[in-house]
């Protein structure tokens, strides 16, 4: 499952966690003067205070209208159920109406909706227990107990058959175990079904009958096992989720599996689903990858779930996502596939857990996931008014995110009242989320929300301490320690300064059971700073800094991790060892300024800079580039049959980029055409168009589907090996990852090695052509690289064998052999090479391959060039190398040409108009996201701002600056550049307030650019046009701090010396915080010119040119 900030404890330590929580409860109740029941009442009271019934009614009303529309448009099964649920409970309506609820439930049951079956059964259960609804409907008073049990058993079985309803399974199991008549009813139903199946006349319900038989068999088989005298203890609801995780053991007979398989072969989606679900509970692997049986692989869990989803089962897509997620692959392809599956799951069912899981994918910037806070908020609001799938115990991991978005002002303004409402709204539901409780408590503690007192936050912290989530409990203990230490609550209820140490100790002990995360490290760092616990680790002055630094590294994780990473970064900068005294003084001054201007804290400023960057980035920037490029490629094909245009169009159709939807057939045609024209890298794309039913691949996204993983892997490996032979390193590493993660690929690689060794021996005897023999040698070298994992664990014997194969192929002038010898020289230590291999450089090997027009070698030479290596080639040859690479669609080559058209490198003719069209073409062809590793986001923004002549250059510049702020917690320069763009009014409707906050956040980051931030703040505070912020004393203070920072920079580094000297010259010339000194100004302008060293640093070149211009004016 996805790792959010809740539920982060180690799975293998669950028994330890349970014992730890039991210890905590005992300890806490010994010092609290309250009972558990009283605590629950207080929590319910607090939730009611902050719950906004009017707002929820509006949300339910909107949801009601949307579900009615779905019913009218598509007779949507889940919509019927939700409308029935709303009528039953009066949600968003004037009053509840059981008659209407039953009507809609019955319509949903006709379409086999498992939740409707269960809720209908619960209506009968409540009637039986005396909770009647004014005798409006069920009229169970006319039924005897046996009739009532018969109805409930059938409804509960329906709930399990149609969707493996967790609570229905649990209730049926308990009742059948404890009440003989329930079990006898189950046996009667089984007899009826068996009789119906045995009838000679065929029935359209036969597949359903087999499903019922399978489910009933599961219950009877389970009870037969449990009746051995080892009865299970009753599990209270509070411990239900954790206990189920521990005891998730499959108890399904082979007869039940056979029934589900029979139903599936008759075309029933429930058969596929039930078979897969029961297999997922078992200890067997999710995919039987080593099975040689096509029939067995067809009934693999993921393949069966795919079949159920395609046939329309409302839980098919969601369950498939859960199964694939358990494999924990984290790649672009797997992540984008999971998000696409969740989108389909939301359309198919619309259950709250599906919607929350989907929303989470838009909140975590994982490779392959689209990042969209607004869309996440919409899904979370829908989830709040929807019901869970009940496929497994209620999962509360993502419950707090909706309140969190309002709390932190993401995709909306900061609204702490509404945040408290949404926290309270999810706490009203069963299985309360402990982290939500802590966040609401902290909101009350810090903001003193209307109608709440500090004692309310204490009660929520206390309740969170007692839950089964160690991270939330640790955070709650930490907050209670802070409250106790500050003496804010009376000692009569167990909160005085002497108890603070105990709470700190409890928090640290709980954190031992938590997986690494930003909040965990942040809490530890704070405890090490504040607590007075006698511990060597705590007395170590480096411990807090280490914790804060570790926490800050989670900045590029999910939204909640990011916030605590920012707080940790600020803490780290405050206590960083060997900090210069003037920096400490600067930060103290800035803290006072921030408090004076906005009554805020540093963390609020840092978080504001993140929100500002979110606001100024362009969500559709790359989509527009893809759309433009698509039109250009189409136009290119009308002019000539261009191999790169075919390859790029194949890729665009393959992945659905820009305005295109995924079209595997069109993609395949373009790939084949590209290969026929000489674009060998298209083999890789063809390999990934082969799908596998067993692995849950959607047939609509693949050209050819194979039922088993083994078959799919064989065909993929053939294409990928051909691609690797042509020099596609991506294919080599793809095979390497698959062989490392999947047993079937590891076995296939071994088989391929044996086949090629055999073919080589026979080929020599039959005197095969030289080209075929050398190809076999190179392929053997590639496969051995994969099998021996030489890039992860290099060993001399394996490397010598690989080099031996490549050397023999190289003697026969195979360019692929030269290429891979060069690649090995790049990646491995020179100690592994002997003789001539030791003397020849990687560049020389690539040059040998390039002479044979081996395109991959040319692309590697371009990469060496961009990495700063000097090639033994003339500029004319380098230009031709770049042209060849660009024609091939290589983003490195196209990017280098674009930069040459800006700064004239390699004697490329400068042309700013062509430069930016070439740069954007490189972005469109950058399928592996390599450009940002060469050009940081802020550099691209800088190029747009100062070198482009397009009308929307400032919009594009602000987008790249914003991306840099969003992706790098240590970024100071991006904040300054974005702030400068705003300050100079280059962004319409932008406020100078945003610029001030960006500059202030840059100062808190505290790197070599901090002087510029001080300088810009001095300029704003000394500008009378900014009357709201005009303050000469404040301006002078910032100018003084800027001056000290620039002087320090010049002493320790020459990296930004041109910029620092130029700004110092301006300060002397204008008299910023000092007397005007023209002589020193001229001196620093001249230094700016003298210190400029490289033609490729366009930013420093601008300062140099500006200095030249000023000196000419002064002379």
Q: Quick one: pLDDT at residue 725?
A: 95
**What is the tens place of the pLDDT at every residue in 38-49?**
888 889 999 999
Instruction: List Cβ neighbours of 129 (8 Å cut-off, separation of 6 or more).
Output: none
Backbone angles phi, psi at 706, to 5 degrees: -115, 140
The whole-number average pLDDT for the span 772-784 is 92
Contact 525, 544 (CB under 8 A): yes
pTM, 2 dp: 0.85
Contact 301, 279 (CB under 8 A): yes
- Of 531-545, 568-582, 853-867, 875-889, the range with the lowest mean pLDDT is 531-545
992 vs 785: CA distance, rounded Å: 56
Backbone angles phi, psi at 691, to 5 degrees: -110, 170
The whole-number average pLDDT for the span 545-553 is 90
Backbone angles phi, psi at 692, to 5 degrees: -135, 125
Residue ranges in 742-874 assigned as alpha helix (H): 743-765, 770-788, 796-811, 815-827, 835-839, 842-851, 855-866
684 vs 665: CA distance, rounded Å: 15
Residue 139, pLDDT above cutoff 70 = no
Backbone angles phi, psi at 690, to 5 degrees: -95, 125
Using 50, 70 and 90 to split pLDDT, how confident is the model at 579?
low
Contact 565, 525 (CB under 8 A): no
Q: How far is CA 817 from CA 726, 796, 806, 822, 888, in A?
A: 10, 19, 5, 9, 21
DSSP letter for each residue of 362-376: TTS--TT----HHHH
Higher pLDDT pick, 135 / 602: 602
The token duo for 12 is 């293998």
Q: How far is CA 315 from CA 211, 335, 532, in A?
A: 16, 20, 52
The token duo for 329 is 């692959």
Q: How far is CA 42 from CA 33, 35, 52, 418, 736, in A?
A: 14, 11, 18, 21, 57
First to last CA, the chain: 69
- Of 327-336, 589-598, 740-749, 891-900, the range with the lowest mean pLDDT is 327-336
Q: Quick one: pLDDT at residue 6?
A: 38
CB < 8 Å & 24+ apart, contacts of 54-63: 55/418, 55/421, 56/92, 56/384, 56/425, 57/91, 57/92, 58/92, 59/92, 59/381, 59/384, 59/385, 60/86, 60/91, 60/92, 60/93, 60/385, 61/92, 62/385, 63/92, 63/382, 63/385, 63/386
SS3 for 1025? Answer: coil
Quote the DSSP letter at residue 514: B
The whole-number average pLDDT for the span 286-290 is 38
DSSP letter for each residue of 132-153: --TTSS--GGGS-HHHHHHHHH
Instruction: List Cβ neighbours of 186 (8 Å cut-off, separation of 6 or more).
Output: 153, 157, 172, 176, 216, 219, 220
Contact 1018, 1040 (CB under 8 A): no
Quote the DSSP letter at residue 691: E
62 burial level (CB within 10 Å; 0-12, 13-18, 19+):
middle
The whole-number average pLDDT for the span 931-956 is 89
244 burial level (CB within 10 Å; 0-12, 13-18, 19+):
middle
Contact 1111, 1103 (CB under 8 A): no
The token duo for 628 is 């433009």
Please give the distance of CA 153 from its chain centroid, rounded to a whole number: 42
- Of 281-290, 343-352, 512-521, the range with the lowest mean pLDDT is 281-290
Instruction: List Cβ neighbours of 770 (8 Å cut-off, separation of 6 or more).
Output: 812
The whole-number average pLDDT for the span 696-722 is 90
Q: Quick one: pLDDT at residue 336?
A: 80
Please give the distance of CA 350 from its chain centroid, rounded to a whole number: 21
Q: Quick one: pLDDT at residue 351?
A: 92
898 vs 886: CA distance, rounded Å: 11
Q: Quick one: pLDDT at residue 5?
A: 37
The token duo for 378 is 């919409």
Using 50, 70 and 90 to split pLDDT, how confident is the model at 537?
very low
Residue 441, pLDDT above cutoff 50 = yes
Residue 231, pLDDT above cutoff 70 = no
Higher pLDDT pick, 728 / 134: 728
Higher pLDDT pick, 667 / 765: 667
**What is the tens place of the pLDDT at every residue in 662-702?**
999 999 999 999 999 989 889 999 999 999 887 778 888 89
Please give the distance of CA 838 from its chain centroid, rounded to a whole number: 43
Contact 263, 271 (CB under 8 A): yes
DSSP letter for each residue of 637-686: HHH---HHHHHHHHHHHHHT-TTPPP-HHHHHHHHHHHHHTT-TTHHHHH
426 vs 384: CA distance, rounded Å: 7
Instruction: List Cβ neighbours of 184 (8 Å cut-off, separation of 6 or more).
Output: none
Q: Quick one: pLDDT at residue 844?
A: 93
Residue 387 has a CB neighbour count (10 Å cut-off) of 17
Q: Quick one: pLDDT at residue 246?
A: 30
- Tokens 């992945």 correspond to 655
Higher pLDDT pick, 594 / 900: 900
Strand partners, 704: 690
Higher pLDDT pick, 362 / 818: 818
Q: 803 in the Ramachandran plot: left (φ > 0), alpha (ψ -120 to 50) or beta?
A: alpha
5 vs 475: CA distance, rounded Å: 11
Instruction: Show the 3-state SS of 452-478.
Output: CCHHHHHHHHHHHHCCCCHHHHHHHHH
The pLDDT mean for the chain works out to 84
The whole-number average pLDDT for the span 120-149 is 63
Contact 1018, 1063 (CB under 8 A): no
Residue 984 has a CB neighbour count (10 Å cut-off) of 13
The whole-number average pLDDT for the span 276-281 is 82
424 vs 49: CA distance, rounded Å: 9
Number of residues that make up the chain: 1115
The token duo for 470 is 């160690």
335 vs 329: CA distance, rounded Å: 8
Instruction: List Cβ neighbours of 711 (8 Å cut-off, separation of 6 or more).
Output: 692
Quick one: CA dihedral 83, 87, 91, 94, positive or negative? Answer: positive
């Amino acid at each position: 499952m996805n790792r959010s900030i809740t539920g982060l404890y180690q799975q293998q330590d669950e028994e330890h966690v349970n014992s730890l929580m039991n210890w905590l409860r005992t300890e806490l109740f010994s010092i609290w003067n309250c009972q558990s029941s009283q605590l629950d009442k207080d929590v319910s009271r607090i939730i009611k205070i902050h719950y906004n019934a009017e707002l929820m009614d509006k949300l339910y009303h909107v949801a009601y209208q949307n579900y009615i529309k779905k019913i009218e448009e598509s007779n949507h099964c889940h919509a019927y159920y939700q409308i029935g649920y709303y009528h039953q409970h009066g949600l968003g309506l004037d009053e509840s109406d059981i008659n209407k609820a039953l009507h809609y439930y019955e319509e949903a049951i006709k379409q086999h909706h498992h939740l409707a079956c269960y809720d209908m059964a619960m209506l009968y259960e409540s009637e039986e227990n005396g909770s009647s609804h004014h005798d409006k409907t069920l009229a169970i008073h006319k039924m005897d107990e046996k009739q009532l049990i018969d109805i409930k058993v059938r409804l509960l079985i329906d709930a399990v058959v149609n969707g493996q309803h967790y609570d229905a399974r649990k209730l049926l199991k308990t009742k059948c175990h404890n009440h003989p008549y329930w079990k006898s009813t189950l046996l009667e139903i089984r007899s009826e079904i068996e009789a119906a199946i045995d009838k000679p006349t065929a029935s359209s319900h036969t597949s359903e009958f087999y499903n019922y038989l399978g489910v009933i068999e599961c219950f009877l088989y389970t009870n037969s096992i449990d009746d051995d005298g080892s009865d299970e203890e009753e599990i209270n609801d509070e411990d239900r989720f954790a206990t189920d995780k521990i005891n998730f053991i499959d108890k399904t007979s082979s007869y039940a599996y056979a029934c589900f398989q029979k139903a599936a072969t008759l075309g029933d989606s429930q058969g596929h689903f039930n078979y897969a679900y029961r297999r997922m509970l078992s200890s067997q692997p999710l995919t039987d990858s080593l099975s040689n049986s096509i029939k067995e692989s067809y009934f693999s869990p993921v393949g069966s779930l795919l079949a159920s989803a395609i046939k329309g089962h409302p839980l098919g897509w969601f369950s498939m996502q859960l199964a694939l997620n358990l494999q924990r692959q984290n790649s672009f392809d797997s992540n984008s596939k999971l998000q696409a599956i969740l989108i389909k799951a939301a359309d198919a069912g619309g259950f709250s857990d599906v919607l929350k899981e989907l929303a989470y994918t838009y909140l975590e910037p994982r490779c392959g996931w689209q990042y969209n806070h607004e869309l996440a908020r919409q899904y979370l609001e829908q989830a709040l008014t929807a019901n869970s799938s009940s496929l497994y115990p209620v999962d509360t991991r993502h419950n707090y995110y909706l309140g969190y978005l309002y709390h932190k002002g993401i995709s909306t303004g900061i609204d702490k009242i509404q945040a408290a409402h949404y926290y309270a709204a999810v706490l009203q539901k069963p299985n309360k989320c402990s982290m939500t409780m802590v966040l609401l408590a902290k909101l009350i503690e810090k903001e003193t929300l209307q109608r709440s007192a500090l004692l309310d936050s204490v009660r929520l912290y206390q309740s969170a301490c007692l839950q089964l989530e160690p991270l939330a409990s640790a955070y709650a203990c930490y907050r209670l320690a802070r409250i106790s230490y500050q003496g804010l609550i009376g000692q009569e209820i167990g909160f005085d300064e002497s108890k603070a140490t105990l709470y700190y100790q409890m928090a640290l002990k709980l954190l031992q059971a938590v997986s690494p995360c930003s909040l965990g490290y942040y809490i530890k760092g704070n405890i090490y700073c504040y607590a007075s616990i006698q511990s060597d680790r705590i007395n170590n002055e480096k411990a807090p800094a280490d914790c804060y630094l570790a926490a800050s590294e989670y900045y590029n994780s999910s939204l909640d991790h990011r916030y605590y990473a920012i707080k940790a970064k600020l803490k780290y900068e405050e206590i960083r060892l060997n900090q210069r005294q003037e920096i400490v003084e600067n930060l103290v001054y800035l803290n006072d300024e921030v408090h004076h201007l906005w009554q805020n804290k540093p963390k609020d400023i840092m978080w504001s800079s993140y929100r500002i960057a979110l606001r100024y980035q362009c969500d559709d920037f790359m989509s527009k580039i893809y759309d433009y490029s698509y039109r250009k490629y189409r136009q290119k094909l009308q002019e000539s049959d261009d191999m790169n245009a075919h390859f790029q169009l194949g890729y665009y159709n393959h992945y659905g980029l820009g305005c295109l939807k995924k079209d595997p057939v069109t993609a395949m045609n373009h790939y084949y055409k590209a290969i026929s024209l000489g674009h060998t890298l298209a083999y890789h794309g063809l390999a990934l168009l082969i799908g596998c039913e067993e692995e849950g691949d959607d047939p609509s996204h693949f050209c050819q589907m194979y039922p088993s993983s083994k078959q799919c892997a064989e065909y993929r490996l053939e294409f990928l090996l051909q691609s690797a032979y042509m020099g596609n390193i991506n294919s080599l590493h793809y095979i390497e990852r698959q062989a490392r993660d999947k047993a079937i690929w590891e076995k296939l690689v071994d088989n391929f090695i044996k086949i090629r060794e055999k073919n080589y021996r026979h080929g020599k005897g039959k005197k095969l052509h030289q080209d075929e023999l050398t190809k076999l040698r190179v392929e053997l070298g590639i496969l051995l690289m994969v099998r021996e994992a030489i890039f992860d664990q290099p060993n001399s014997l394996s490397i010598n064998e690989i080099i031996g194969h490549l050397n023999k192929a190289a003697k026969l002038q195979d360019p692929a052999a030269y290429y891979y010898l060069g690649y090995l020289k790049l990646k491995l230590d020179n100690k592994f090479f002997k003789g001539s291999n030791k003397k020849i450089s990687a560049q020389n090997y690539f040059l040998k391959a390039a002479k044979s027009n081996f395109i991959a070698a040319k692309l590697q030479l371009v990469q060496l060039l961009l990495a700063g290596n000097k090639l033994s080639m003339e500029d004319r040859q380098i230009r031709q190398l770049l042209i060849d690479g660009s024609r091939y669609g290589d983003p490195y080559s196209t990017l280098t040409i674009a930069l040459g058209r800006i700064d004239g490198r390699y004697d490329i003719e400068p042309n700013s108009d062509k430069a930016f069209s070439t740069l954007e073409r490189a972005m469109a062809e950058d399928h592996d996201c390599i450009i940002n590793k060469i050009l940081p986001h802020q550099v691209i923004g800088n190029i747009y701002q100062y070198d482009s002549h397009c009308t929307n250059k400032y919009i594009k510049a602000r987008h790249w600056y914003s991306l840099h702020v969003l992706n790098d917690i240590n970024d100071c320069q991006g904040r300054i550049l974005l702030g400068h763009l705003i300050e100079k009014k280059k962004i319409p409707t932008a406020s100078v307030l945003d610029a001030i906050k960006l500059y202030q956040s840059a100062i808190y980051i505290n790197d070599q650019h901090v002087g510029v931030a001080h300088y810009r703040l001095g300029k704003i505070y000394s500008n009378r046009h900014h009357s709201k912020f005009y303050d000469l004393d404040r301006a002078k203070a910032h100018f003084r701090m800027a001056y000290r920072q620039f002087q320090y920079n010049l002493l320790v580094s020459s990296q930004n010396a041109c910029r620092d000297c130029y700004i110092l010259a301006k300060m002397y010339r204008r008299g910023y915080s000092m007397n005007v000194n023209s002589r020193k100004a001229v001196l620093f302008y001249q230094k700016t010119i003298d210190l400029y060293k490289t033609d490729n640093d366009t930013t420093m070149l601008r300062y140099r040119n500006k200095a030249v211009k000023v000196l000419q004016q002064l002379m």
